[in-house]
Amino acid sequence: MKLEEEVVRRQRERARILAWLLGGFVVLLFFITIAKTGINW
């Protein structure tokens, strides 16, 4: 595999993981807010 291809592959992989982590963080913040405001479903 060429060097440029490997660089792009790694960058894409990291970007995908970062996107998932950020999405998870947003969901976590939502639930933290719900718990802190004391709303019981």
* Residue ranges that bind other proteins, judged by CB under 8 A: 3, 6-7, 10-11, 13-14, 17, 28, 31-32, 34-36
Minimum CB distance to other proteins, residue 3 (Å): 7
DSSP state of 38: T
Token readout for 20 is 């998932």
Q: Measuring CA to CA, how many Å separate 29 from each of 10, 12, 13, 40? A: 28, 26, 24, 16
Minimum CB distance to other proteins, residue 17 (Å): 5
Of the pair 11, 23, the CB lying nearest other proteins is at 11
